[in-house]
Structure 1
């Protein structure tokens, strides 16, 4: 612990908690506001590894180092210091609001009776999360819909995690897996692979990035069926592509969907039935027309649900709404 700066007079200067996302860990990828917040802080609190990443900004400050599993203790320490009139930088790697310290801190604050009108003010300073940093290193895997799921079952029941994995695998999201594996948690990544293989091709592209933008950065491209055999640890983020993701020239890319509307080999002209600036012919309105036509042709609701891979009750209510809307339009025009 370095020699702390003098404690301000709490009566004259209310404290402040700054929840700082420092990005992937390299100085070049830390925002100016994140650096400024750490520089103006009297006290800096964080996991020991994150403290090392900002060591050049800590001279003359009180440093409170905590272990990986002491998130609530970090938040309590931050509130205690702020109540004493200190400016506190509570740091997270990536973004403080993405698997970071923002949530636990607000839980502690609310438990202590804090409100936004409290003299102790709170500022969240965003940073690039692991999925952004890792994606930038491997290409453009997040160009279409994506989500993040943590495989850590330290605080979340495994059935909850498994349901989420199964749902997003079926829905064809690109997925970033956080906390995929540790010294004690080794089977979770295997179970995640098992769930994804129920819905995705074995050759689905996967990128594994360790320590993005840090000294021991490692990048590995593999496939879904080989994913669990790769070297993966707590400093790794696993990016699983969707059904359209590809790897070419060492770059992982998920198409945005332009090929659905434009003929890219013919100068980008629109395909038959498509119009620039308008929804796809298979967008919502076009799909509703198709659904009604299929139902009118004799396909029952169960068959339609299976064909479109959507819940039976959703198909039923959608068709009912269409009938109601058609009736209302007919009555209005009568």
Structure 2
């Protein structure tokens, strides 16, 4: 069995204070860090550490590279933003593991959780995820848009609060507007929509608008979009309002 190990780690939503001690310890022991370019850039270089940044959409190549290095005895940390198990690298590593040689199954592989964007955004605004909710990745790179649309419609009909990941990009400028159109068709009310950009960083901006006024160009790929349920409420007060969903439903 290789003496190497692989830690699939979440760096949290952006602020250094929200990186867990467990992840910090793994990075301190690592010989190699692998991940998407902006996430690897959050790891400080040091002697004995090799950084392996790579472009987006090469998750399986990245995962395979990590497994090979660990099998050769390296101490490897694969980094994701937020939590590695939420639309991130943990699933990609296990896909590569399942397709790889049997010897990889003997590796020491750990998933180290992080604070994901929907939880950080929810905390910044109050508690919009205080009752039942779901998370939907709006990217249709790995699934058809028809499936995305069906899940949005069913979530709206079930009256979940919805956290939208990957809401909008240069390659997908219209997906969030399409999602809002589905929601308006499924629930004709003024439930609040939270746009939380770059939470926990100096560039953080929070904006809350009613669903009829929500537009896709209010978000980019650094934005977490949370659509409240019919029960989600806004408490006006001096300064920033509080957005929350009561714990009970009639």
Please tell me the TM-score bracket, short chain as reference.
over 0.9
Could you tell me which runs of 5 or more consecutive residues in structure 1 were left unpaired when the two chains were aligned.
1-10, 261-334
Q: 1:37 to 1:246 in 2, by over 3 A?
A: same
The two structures, once aligned, show a CA RMSD in angstroms of 1.6
String of CA shifts for 1:296-322, please: whole Å, max 9, x gaps.
Answer: xxxxxxxxxxxxxxxxxxxxxxxxxxx
Distance 1:31 1:23 in 2: 8
Q: State whether residues 26 and 53 of structure 1, in contact with CA within 8 Å, keep that contact through their aligned partners in structure 2.
A: no
TM-score by length of 1: 0.71
String of CA shifts for 1:222-256, please: whole Å, max 9, x gaps.
Answer: 11111125421111110000011011121111011
Could you tell me which runs of 5 or more consecutive residues in structure 2 were left unpaired when the two chains were aligned.
none
Distance 1:187 1:63 in 2: 35
Compare the two structures and name the one with the higher strand fraction.
Answer: 2
Distance 1:51 1:68 in 2: 12
Task: State the 1:199 CA deviation.
Answer: 2.6
Distance 1:24 1:177 in 2: 15
Number of residue pairs aligned between Structure 1 and Structure 2: 245
SS for the counterpart of 1:198 is helix
Task: State the 1:200 CA deviation.
Answer: 2.1
Q: 1:115 to 1:106 in 2, by over 3 A?
A: farther
Following superposition of structure 1 onto structure 2, how do residues 308-323 of structure 1 map, counting pairs within 5 Å?
none
TM-score by length of 2: 0.93
213-222 vs 84-93, which moves further: 213-222
Q: Of 19, 27, 31, which aligns to 1:42?
A: 31
SS for the counterpart of 2:41 is helix
2:163 aligns with: 176
Following superposition of structure 1 onto structure 2, how do residues 179-198 of structure 1 map, counting pairs within 5 Å?
179-198=166-185
Q: 1:35 to 1:88 in 2, by over 3 A?
A: same
Distance 1:99 1:87 in 2: 24
SS for the counterpart of 1:127 is coil
Q: State whether residues 144 and 254 of structure 1, in contact with CA within 8 Å, keep that contact through their aligned partners in structure 2.
A: yes
Compare the two structures and name the one with the higher helix fraction.
Answer: 1
Q: State whether residues 180 and 188 of structure 1, in contact with CA within 8 Å, keep that contact through their aligned partners in structure 2.
A: yes
Please tell me whether Structure 1 or Structure 2 has the larger radius of gyration of its CA atoms: 1
